[in-house]
Amino acid sequence: MKRMALSLVLGITLSVFFGGKGWAQQSPVDQYITLLRSDLVTEKAALIVSNMELSEKEMNAFWPVYNAYQKDLSKVGDDKVAVIKDYAAHIENIDNAKARELTMKALGVEEQRLRVIKKYIGKFSKVLSAKQVARFFQLELQMQRMIDLQVAAELPLLK
């Protein structure tokens, strides 16, 4: 029961920001998570609009790049969810080998996320000024850190 509750809490927390399966392939819980994610994506977009101070021309250039960025970032999120689900499934009996495996997978996910960010700095730089790109990634990284903190607060330490 403890593992299932942990999986649900972490799944909801992570899946809100990160990708997932298509609607028809989802369980009722996953469908609920998809609805939560949709609401949060809308709120995130509103936060970006209110803080980026972009002209109409800049917005028209920004959103296609942003949507592609979110799509790539959601793939990283899927991998992060998989690592956390694996951790939750084995929480009661993680041995040294599994601990090493999960650590390496978690670090791999962080490296993937950083690669996506670096890739999109160049893409955003083609449509925005360097200051605007920096501002966007300030906002983005702040939001990501808040989610990471929520997830970390829910994960029990290994025994």
CB contact at 8 A, 85 and 8: no
CATH of 2-154, one of 2.40.50, 3.40.50, 3.30.1240, 1.20.120: 1.20.120
Q: Phi and psi (nearest 5°) for 76?
A: -65, -40
Radius of gyration of the chain (CA): 17
Q: What are the tens digits of pLDDT across the range 86-139?
A: 998 888 899 999 999 999 999 999 999 999 999 999 999 999 999 999 999 999
Per-residue confidence (pLDDT) for residue 31, from 0 to 100: 67
pLDDT of 11 over the 80 cut: no
- The 8-class DSSP code of residue 25 comes to G
CB contact at 8 A, 33 and 11: yes
Q: What are the tens digits of pLDDT across the range 138-150?
A: 999 998 888 788 8
CA 24, 26, 29, 31 torsion: positive or negative?
A: negative
Give the whole-angstrom CA distance, residue 63 versus residue 145: 22
Q: What are the tens digits of pLDDT across the range 18-47?
A: 444 454 566 665 665 566 656 667 778 888
Q: Tell me the whole-structure pTM to 2 decimals.
A: 0.77
Within 10 Å of residue 81's Cβ, how many Cβ atoms?
23
Q: What percentage of the chain exceeds 90 in pLDDT?
A: 45
Give the whole-angstrom CA distance, residue 45 versus residue 93: 41
pLDDT of 5 over the 90 cut: no
For 13, residues 6+ apart whose C-beta sits below 8 A from its C-beta are 147, 150, 151, 154
Q: What are the tens digits of pLDDT across the range 44-55?
A: 888 888 999 999
